[in-house]
Each structure stands twice: as structure tokens, then as C-alpha cells.
């Protein structure tokens, strides 16, 4: 794990205004800065950045977070990668954990490998310009010079050791670690890529981390990717994601294909929001990365049986990453087509229509399951529920799961409650909430607003006084965090300490709403004390009413000694107020 102290130092070192301004031009707007939100389409700015609190907030879509959160959302990075990105900007070295660096790599190794990949990419680009045969192949595929430049395409000439012209030390370990060369059993080294159209695979920061090679003529394998290296992990990376970033925001849809030539062909024909997996099935990490940037993913694989199997694997691996406000769709092209050939034959308008009308996840899931079962027999209906059970258990989305359960009940003849029981699902009928012992939601909501704006005050919260309201767990957690770290002077610091804790989303959602409200810093402590006083007064009234009811029912003799003393004191306080 990355030490909390390092994260706090990083947040203190990085200015969120300077950071976001490099991605989205900001304009001064009073005490804050404003821009059109980079996470949804809008014509007038509703995205604000606070230099004093070091967080951003969009009043339109609710996007909200710290510098770390912005890099994660904007670039589609995981937490550790976002930390590394910001640390690199700030000139800080991410500390080692338990004696190892996070990638278990030698110091400087990543930079050395990236330099090797960049050098090889330039060589391949130069070779493409000098190869009439490779240029002719690109023309035959309908690829223009513009799209070739957009994706940094190149050509690896035929021959065994061409890279020796670029790297005088051809036996350097970095060449093998980067996946550019292979050592055979006899110890002879040769180039991995030969006579192939070369497509660089780029990470969100713009670094070349791998290559994909497409054979020019006939041969096997038709596509050859770099092996997994310290730079490249197939299950995490998506081809074309950096190039698609703007189109993803414009359309709020990501189109996932199986190959990089599909992505390039779609881009060539005006569909810029396509990405591709890299020699592996779609993973939950792929889906999570995309759903940080869009609300809808459409899978578009080849129309053959292999493509349909790939679509089913994508569905299975996507379920755990879903949310009720996110959608998945599936396009099934004619069997003789892939996305590349389909758009070249039918054009962009027809392809766009396919994307709009893509089959929803629920329809695809139920159709595939139904095809495996004989729904005319009792055995087949039982098998339908059996096949559906592990998929339903993966779904974290209660609304979608409820819809699927209803449709499965209709198809199988079971009652909805029977499907839930057979699949080990809890009933979707919410139990009546327990009656709250005491309520003052407006007061605790106001306390939460004050504490989020002024975190130091959280240490002064009297936890025994807090009513049983939805805000109580959040206030309790903030009290613990601030009491244990008096340096947590801003919400930005607290936000990163909350990652992975049960109250994270509750506080994040509250902050998204409450931090955007007007707040007078000079009156914070006075308002905080006034709110606590109202809570104490309310608690005293509640206790007095409880003791008074008991005294009327059982007489004063029915009260314990402590209750009698409390009753007398509260009665005196009531008479004093009146």
C-alpha cells in the first residue's frame, strides 16, 4: 500500500488548479475557477475548481473529487497509476512498500524501457515511409496518411536482426524486457516483429508500452502482439483509448472491438469512440476503466461463432463492474463481417444505427441462456435458473437484477420469489425500516456540511449526542479520521483517507452536494456550536418527555434514583426556559 503520509504530501504539493488547467482551460470566477465540464456535454460552465479546498465539483453531472480523483476519471487510470502520474509531475518518488517498489522493478527501469519503445517506434515509422510494399498495403486497406499518423503506424521489415541498426547494443537486456526481441534455445537473438504493419499501443499518458503487428501478406499468426512486460499487461490496456478520449466524452459511449485494425478502420470512417482489447477477452478491469469515462459500452465483435463467444465472455466479465446508471449493448454483425469490413461496405450512418440499436445486456443474456435450454420441458426450465444463478450473483445492480429475475420467472414458470430463493438472492421487497430512536436529520445534515467545509471541527463532534440518522456513520468516520490526524485540514486530504472504507461513497455523495453550497468560513465555528446546542436541547426534550411519560404511567416511585435526579434537573430546566 502507498503510505498515507506520502498521499498527503502529494496532495499538498500538487495544485489542483494548475493540474486541471493543463487538461481543461480554466477561467477565474470569483474565488474559484470555472470551465465547461470535461465529463459531460454542456454549453455553459458548471464545472468549478476550488484553489482553497483543492477539489473540483460539477453542478451539472455531480462529478467531484481531488487531484487524484480527477486524474483517475479523466485519464481512466487506477488509483496507484494516478498516484504515479501525479508524483511524476511533482518530481516525487513513490516510496517502496515492504521493501519492494510497486512494480517490483529496478530503479529507472520503466523510463529505460519507454525510451527503448519510443526509439523502436520511430524506426518502424521511418521504415513505413521507405517501403512501397507496406504503403501499398495501407492503401489497399483504405488507410490514409492522416490516420496512419494518428495511430503512429509503422512497418517492421523482413529480416532477423533489423533492430540492430537502431540499438548498437543488440544484446541489451532492455530489448528483451520490452518484448522487441526473442532469444532462442541456442541463445541466438532475433527480432520479434518481421514483415508486419506495426501499430503502437499507447497508455493514457501517451507512452508507447507495446506493439501490435499485422502480417502484410498471408501467414500465421495474422496478428502478433507484444508479450506482457513490465510496461504492458493485456488485461488492463485498451488499444486506441488515448486517441478516443474526446469522442468518448462527446458520445458518452465506448465501442469495444476485438482488434486494432477494427479501431483504425472505424476511426478512418468517422467513428472515433472505438477501442480494442489486445489478444485477450474483455476483462472487468477493461470495463471499469471505460465506465469511468462513459455511461454506455457497446461490444462489436466479428459476426462468426468466435465473435459471439467473445461477446458472451465480455458479458460474464462485465457484470461485476456494472452500476444501475451504466448500460451495456451488443452488436451482432452479419457472419461474414467484422467492424472493419462492415463500415467500409455500409458506411458510417449504417454503423451508427447499429450502435444506437445495439441489443441490451439483459436481452442478450436471456437469449443466450434460453438457447441452451429446452424451455418446453420442466428439466429445461430448471436448467435456465441453474445457468442464470452465477450470473445474477455477480450483478451488483439491484434494479437490473430485479428486472432479470422477473423475466426469468416468466420464462421458467417459477414465481419471482422462487427464483430469488433458488438463486440465493435476498428478497427485493425492502423490509420496513426500524423506527428511529430519535430523529433530527436537518441538524446532522448541517453538521456534515460544516465538517466537510471545515474538517478540523470533526474532532469536536460529541458522538454520543449524534442521533440515529443517515449522516451519523459519516460523521463518526470523519471524527475518527480527524482525531487521528490533526493535519487533515482539508476535504482533499480526508477524501484520500476514505478510499476503501465503508463510508467512502456515502461521504463522497454528500460532499458532491454539500460542498457546492454557499458557505461562510468566518461563521463556521459559531454555526457548528449553535447546531450542537440545538441537538443537546432536542435530546433533553426527548429525554424529559420519556421520563415524564414513565412517571405518569408508574408514578415517580417507578423511576430509578438516577432517573429521578435527571427528571428533576430537566423539569427545572424546562421551567427556567418557560
CA distance 348 to 272: 11
* Cα 422 to the center of its chain, rounded Å: 32
> Where among 56, 90, 124 does a domain terminate?
90
Domain boundary among 175, 194, 225: 225
Query: Is 176 within a domain?
Result: yes
Q: Are residues 169 and 195 in the same domain?
A: yes
Backbone phi, psi, residue 296, to 5°: -140, 135
* Residue 412 shares a structural domain with residue 491: no
CA distances from 166 to 120, 121, 173, 395, 452 (A): 7, 11, 15, 50, 56
The predicted structure's pLDDT at residue 429: 44
**Backbone dihedral region for residue 47 (phi beyond 0: left; psi -120 to 50: alpha; all else: beta):** beta
Nearest to 439 by CA among 404, 470, 468: 468
Residue 546: all three cell numbers together: 420519556
Examine residue 120 and state whether it is found in any structural domain, yes or no: yes
Cell 524501457 belongs to residue? 113
Q: What is the DSSP letter of 498?
A: T
| Pair 307, 388 in one domain | no
| Residue 159 CA: distances (Å) to CA of 22, 124, 153, 224, 238 | 43, 13, 19, 16, 29
Q: Per-residue confidence of the chain (578 residues) as pLDDT tens digits? A: 678 778 888 887 888 988 998 888 888 888 788 999 888 777 888 899 988 788 898 888 778 888 998 988 887 777 888 888 888 888 888 886 543 344 444 545 777 898 999 999 999 999 999 999 999 999 988 889 999 999 999 999 999 999 999 999 999 999 999 999 999 988 899 999 999 999 999 987 778 999 999 999 888 888 899 999 988 988 888 999 989 988 998 899 999 998 899 999 999 999 999 999 987 889 988 998 888 788 999 999 887 888 889 999 999 999 988 888 899 999 999 988 999 999 999 999 999 999 999 999 999 999 999 998 988 999 999 999 999 999 999 898 889 999 999 999 999 999 999 999 999 886 544 444 444 444 444 688 888 888 888 888 888 898 888 888 888 898 998 888 888 876 666 778 788 888 778 888 788 778 877 776 777 778 888 888 888 888 777 766 766 667 667 766 776 666 677 766 665 665 665 555 55
- Please indicate, yes or no, whether residues 330 and 207 belong to a single structural domain of this protein: no
pLDDT at 57: 87
Residue 566 lies in a domain: yes
- The CATH number that applies at residue 84 is 3.90.580.10
Q: Which three cell numbers stand for residue 107?
A: 530503479
Residues ≥6 apart with Cβ < 8 Å to 25: 35
Q: Tell me whether residue 156 is in a domain.
A: yes
405 and 308 together in one domain: no
Looking up residue 302, the CATH number of its domain turns out to be: 3.40.1360.10
- Residue 181: which of 209, 162, 198 has the closest Cα? 162
251 domain residue, yes or no: yes
Q: Of 118, 231, 111, 129, give the one whose Cα is nearest residue 166.
A: 118
Q: What interhelical angle do 361-372 and 378-394 show, nearest 10?
A: 140
Which three cell numbers, joined as nine digits, stand for 297? 459500452
CATH (domain of 565): 1.10.860.10
Question: Is the residue at 341 inside a domain?
Answer: yes
Q: What is the pLDDT of residue 370?
A: 92
pLDDT on residue 98? 44
Q: For cell 520503466, what's the residue?
A: 110
Are both 445 and 558 inside the same structural domain? yes
Residue 434 counted as domain residue: no
Same domain, 281 and 347: yes
311 shares its domain with 190? no
Same domain, residue pair 380 and 466: no
Q: Looking at the structure, do residues 130 and 198 belong to the same domain, yes or no?
A: yes
Same-domain status, 216 and 245:
no
CB 444 within 8 A of CB 467: yes
- The pTM of the full predicted model, rounded to 2 decimals, is 0.65
- Number of independent structural domains in the chain: 5
Distance CA 132, CA 531 (A): 78
**Per-residue model confidence (pLDDT) at position 396:** 87
Which pLDDT value is given to residue 540? 65
Q: Which of 364, 392, 414 is the last residue of a domain?
A: 364
Phi first, then psi: give them for residue 566, nearest 5 degrees.
Answer: -65, -40
Range of the domain at 59: 4-90
Q: What pLDDT shows up at residue 101?
A: 40
Domain membership flag for residue 231:
no
- Domain of 127, CATH number, reads 3.90.980.10
User: Are 137 and 196 members of one domain?
Assistant: yes
DSSP 116-130: HHHHHHHHHHHHHHT
Amino acid at each position: 500500500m502507498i503510505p498515507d503520509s506520502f498521499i498527503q504530501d502529494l496532495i499538498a504539493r500538487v495544485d489542483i488548479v494548475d493540474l486541471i488547467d493543463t487538461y481543461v482551460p480554466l477561467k477565474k470566477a470569483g474565488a474559484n475557477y470555472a470551465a465547461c465540464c470535461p465529463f459531460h456535454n454542456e454549453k455553459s460552465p458548471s464545472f468549478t475548481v476550488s484553489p482553497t479546498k483543492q477539489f473540483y465539483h460539477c453542478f451539472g453531472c455531480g462529478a467531484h473529487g481531488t487531484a487524484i480523483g480527477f486524474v483517475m476519471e479523466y485519464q481512466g487510470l487506477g488509483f496507484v497509476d494516478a498516484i504515479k502520474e501525479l508524483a511524476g509531475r511533482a518530481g516525487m518518488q513513490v516510496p517502496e512498500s515492504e521493501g519492494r517498489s510497486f512494480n517490483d522493478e529496478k530503479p529507472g527501469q520503466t523510463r529505460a524501457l519507454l525510451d527503448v519503445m519510443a526509439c523502436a517506434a520511430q524506426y518502424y515509422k521511418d521504415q513505413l515511409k521507405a517501403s512501397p510494399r507496406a504503403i501499398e498495403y495501407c492503401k489497399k486497406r483504405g488507410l490514409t496518411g492522416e490516420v496512419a499518423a494518428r495511430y503512429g503506424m509503422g512497418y517492421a521489415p523482413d529480416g532477423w536482426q533489423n533492430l540492430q541498426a537502431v540499438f548498437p547494443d543488440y544484446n541489451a537486456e532492455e530489448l528483451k524486457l520490452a518484448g522487441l526481441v526473442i532469444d532462442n534455445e541456442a541463445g541466438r537473438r532475433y527480432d520479434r516483429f518481421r514483415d508486419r504493419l506495426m501499430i503502437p499501443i499507447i497508455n493514457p499518458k501517451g507512452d508507447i508500452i507495446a506493439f501490435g503487428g499485422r502480417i502484410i501478406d498471408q501467414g500465421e499468426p495474422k496478428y502478433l502482439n507484444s508479450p506482457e512486460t513490465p510496461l504492458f499487461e493485456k488485461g488492463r490496456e485498451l488499444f486506441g483509448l488515448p486517441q478516443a478520449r474526446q469522442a468518448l466524452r462527446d458520445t458518452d459511449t465506448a465501442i469495444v472491438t476485438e482488434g486494432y485494425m477494427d479501431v483504425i478502420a472505424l476511426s478512418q470512417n468517422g467513428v472515433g469512440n472505438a477501442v480494442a482489447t489486445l489478444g485477450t477477452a474483455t476483462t472487468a478491469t477493461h470495463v471499469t476503466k471505460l465506465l469511468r469515462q462513459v455511461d454506455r459500452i457497446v461490444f462489436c465483435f466479428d459476426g462468426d461463432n468466435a465473435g459471439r463467444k467473445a461477446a458472451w465472455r465480455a458479458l460474464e466479465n462485465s457484470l461485476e463492474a456494472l452500476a444501475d446508471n451504466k448500460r451495456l449493448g451488443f452488436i451482432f454483425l452479419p457472419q461474414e463481417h467484422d467492424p472493419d469490413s462492415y463500415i467500409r461496405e455500409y458506411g458510417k450512418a449504417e454503423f451508427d444505427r447499429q450502435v444506437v440499436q445495439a441489443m441490451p445486456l439483459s436481452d442478450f443474456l436471456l437469449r443466450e441462456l434460453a438457447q441452451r435450454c429446452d424451455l418446453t420441458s420442466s428439466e429445461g426450465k430448471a436448467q435456465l435458473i441453474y445457468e442464470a444463478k452465477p450470473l445474477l450473483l455477480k450483478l451488483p445492480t439491484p434494479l437490473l437484477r430485479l428486472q432479470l429475475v422477473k423475466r426469468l420467472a416468466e420464462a421458467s414458470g417459477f414465481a419471482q420469489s422462487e427464483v430469488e430463493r433458488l438463486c440465493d438472492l435476498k428478497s427485493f421487497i425492502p423490509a420496513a425500516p426500524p423506527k428511529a430512536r430519535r430523529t433530527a436529520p436537518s441538524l446532522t445534515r448541517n453538521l456534515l456540511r460544516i465538517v466537510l467545509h471545515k474538517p478540523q471541527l470533526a474532532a469536536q463532534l460529541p458522538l454520543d449526542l449524534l442521533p440515529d440518522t443517515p449522516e451519523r456513520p459519516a460523521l463518526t468516520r470523519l471524527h475518527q479520521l480527524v482525531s487521528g490526524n490533526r493535519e487533515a485540514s482539508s476535504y482533499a486530504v480526508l477524501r484520500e483517507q476514505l478510499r476503501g472504507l465503508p463510508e467512502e461513497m456515502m461521504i463522497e455523495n454528500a460532499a458532491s452536494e454539500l460542498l457546492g453550497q454557499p458557505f461562510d468560513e468566518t461563521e463556521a465555528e459559531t454555526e457548528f456550536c449553535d447546531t450542537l446546542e440545538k441537538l443537546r436541547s432536542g435530546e433533553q426534550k426527548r429525554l424529559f418527555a420519556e421520563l415524564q411519560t414513565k412517571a405518569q404511567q408508574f408514578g415517580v416511585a417507578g423511576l430509578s434514583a438516577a432517573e429521578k435526579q435527571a427528571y428533576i434537573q430537566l423539569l427545572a430546566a424546562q421551567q427556567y426556559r418557560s
